[in-house]
Structure 1
Amino acid sequence: MKKILSGLFAAALGFATVPAYSAGDAVPLPDYEWSFDGVFGTYDKAALQRGFQVYKEVCSGCHSLDLIAFRNLADLGYNVDEIKAIAAEYTVEDGPNDEGEMFERNAIPSDYFPAPFPNEKAAAASNGGKAPPDLSLMAKARVGGPNFVRALLTGYEDAPEGFETGDLSYNKYFPGHLIAMAPPLSEDAVEYGDGTAATVDQMAADVSHFMMWAAEPKLEARKNTGVKVMIFLIIFTLIMYAAKRKVFAKVH
């Protein structure tokens, strides 16, 4: 079941698509609220952990996460032992050994998430001729960012009367409304450890949140630096203004 869901996830992100057939423009994306919005916005660690679970159980069977190492999961609130345990669930290729041969071993925190397929051709052969893309930067690569991902994942519905879809699926948020594969998420597709109800919208929100972090893991640090720079510039401006007033007071 998980393998099927993960295979369908490629379509949800709009990679296995077809041109629009006089279907009109896509519906404008909803303007969702995110904890990381705004100057002082931060990632919600609970949402990140739930989103990682959706990625791990639904998406990772077909989609890689090439730019993320297991140790990066510390940003999500996992401790060292938890990260070691998560890494140990995966195997990675290493070597060569003393005999010049490559070998497999359990992953460790310094390893990056291994790809689900040995190469792009194998990935394409298992997914209808098109290799599922890496998700590391997907939330930044698509116009609309996490809003696009979440909307698309929840935008599947029955086509209007008279709208022919053939073997395709109808998605109200996708331009042309026709997308080549079925919805990737279904109610209770995962079982959240914190007891949160795994509705389609909740899973879509959580995995979108996680994908935003994967695309910009240093967002919080960048914002923190920006705030400090702005405070410095404001204070510096006030000091310079006060100095100017003092220097030119005698002139007047």
Structure 2
Amino acid sequence: MRNLFISAVASLALGTGTAFALGAEGHEGSIVDVAFSFEGPFGTYDEAQLRRGFQVFNEVCASCHGMKYVPIRSLGDEGGPAIPADQLRDYAATLSIIDKESGEERPRIPADMFPTVVGDGMGPDLSVIAKGRAGFHGPYGLGINQLLKGMGGAEYIYSVLVGYEEAPACAPDDAEGYYNVAFTAGGVPDACKDAKGVSTVAGTWIAMPQMITDDVVTYADGTPASAHQVAEDISAFLMWAAEPKLAARKQAGFIAVLMLTLLSVLLYFSNKQLWAPHKGKKTA
């Protein structure tokens, strides 16, 4: 069983929120709790933020990451980026695909999926990565933080994107990759472990270089593109890609709870009416 432990709880100057720091063995690293608009029982996606996130994905991420499970047409759905149909067709046409029937290359249409990106040096598919990465855990696997804060997939992505730091002094010169305080999937050099073999650093080394920096994109809506803003926007977009019907699901859940509450009240009063004539009577 994995040894989960809390190594520190601290505040990070990486953005708004609180950072929960666990050692590499805890698989949590330094995760910043970001106040995304879609959190909570009534939270919804910010359309403008999703559009900015899509721009970041298209200009920064798409060269190394695919989204093979996301249909391009979903970019125009209500509750998502809501990109106009003409712009959607123009965007799809910039992407190519091999036609299954003819075997020839053709431009994509909105009904097609986003491209699959494979090959040496390419990163993982991002279709559902926000649902596949847990940002928050609880001590000893109890999931307490997940109960209070949710899975934290978007926070995990944000924290990794802004979590690049100078390698700690214990790191050997031949350590491969880039040190990231939020990334904990890689191995920790023996020099950065204590006598019991427990990591003494918050994160590990990641193969991806730091891609999100200040002004890495120029937003079409004029929003200042600080590194933290860009990281928040792409994290929100990837959360939408993983769960595009989030708002509809919350609405259905709210209606279900409301109906069950009403049904419970009706059953209570029906029960009282049914048994009222019999209450207080003595049996022979």
Q: Give the structure-1-normalised TM-score.
A: 0.79
| Aligned equivalents of 1:232, 1:23: Cα separation in 2 | 45
| Aligned equivalents of 1:43, 1:211: Cα separation in 2 | 11
Q: Which residue of 2 aligns with 1:138?
A: 129
Instruction: Decide which moves more: 39-48 or 154-163.
Output: 154-163
Deviation at 1:162, TM superposition (A): 5.0
8 Å Cα contact 2:24/2:204 also seen in 1: yes
Alignment of 1:39-118 (within 5 A): 39-74=41-76, 75-97=80-102, 102-116=103-117
8 Å Cα contact 2:30/2:181 also seen in 1: no
| Aligned equivalents of 1:23, 1:43: Cα separation in 2 | 32
Secondary structure of the 1:76 match is coil
Which of structures 1 and 2 has the bigger CA Rg?
Answer: 2
Q: 2:37 is matched by which residue type in structure 1?
A: S
| Aligned equivalents of 1:95, 1:143: Cα separation in 2 | 36
| 1:169 counterpart = 2:170 | no
Taking only the aligned residue pairs, the percentage that are identical comes to 39
Sort the Cα spacing of 1:23 and 1:234 in 2 relative to 1 into closer, same or farther, 3 A.
Answer: closer
Q: Give the structure-2-normalised TM-score.
A: 0.71
Alignment of 1:1-252 (within 5 A): 27-74=29-76, 75-97=80-102, 102-116=103-117, 120=118, 123-124=119-120, 127=121, 131-144=122-135, 145-164=153-172, 166=174, 167-175=176-184, 176-252=203-279
8 Å Cα contact 1:159/1:165 also seen in 2: no
Deviation at 1:165, TM superposition (A): 5.3
| Aligned equivalents of 2:38, 2:213: Cα separation in 1 | 26
| Aligned equivalents of 2:113, 2:133: Cα separation in 1 | 23
Sort the Cα spacing of 1:232 and 1:62 in 2 relative to 1 into closer, same or farther, 3 A.
Answer: same
8 Å Cα contact 2:31/2:159 also seen in 1: yes
Q: 1:230 is matched by which residue type in structure 2?
A: V
Structure scoring higher RCO (CA < 8 A, sep ≥ 6) equals 1
| Aligned equivalents of 1:139, 1:64: Cα separation in 2 | 14
The CA RMSD measured in Å over matched residues stands at: 2.0
What stretches of structure 1 of length at least 5 have no aligned partner?
A: 1-21
How many positions carry a matched residue from both structures?
217
8 Å Cα contact 2:163/2:181 also seen in 1: yes
**Where is the helix percentage greater, Structure 1 or Structure 2?**
1
Deviation at 1:104, TM superposition (A): 1.9
Sort the Cα spacing of 1:230 and 1:85 in 2 relative to 1 into closer, same or farther, 3 A.
Answer: same
Deviation at 1:186, TM superposition (A): 1.9
Secondary structure of the 2:30 match is coil
Deviation at 1:160, TM superposition (A): 3.7
What stretches of structure 2 of length at least 5 have no aligned partner?
A: 1-22, 136-152, 185-202, 280-284
8 Å Cα contact 1:63/1:134 also seen in 2: yes
Secondary structure of the 2:247 match is helix
Sort the Cα spacing of 1:189 and 1:28 in 2 relative to 1 into closer, same or farther, 3 A.
Answer: closer
Deviation at 1:57, TM superposition (A): 0.6
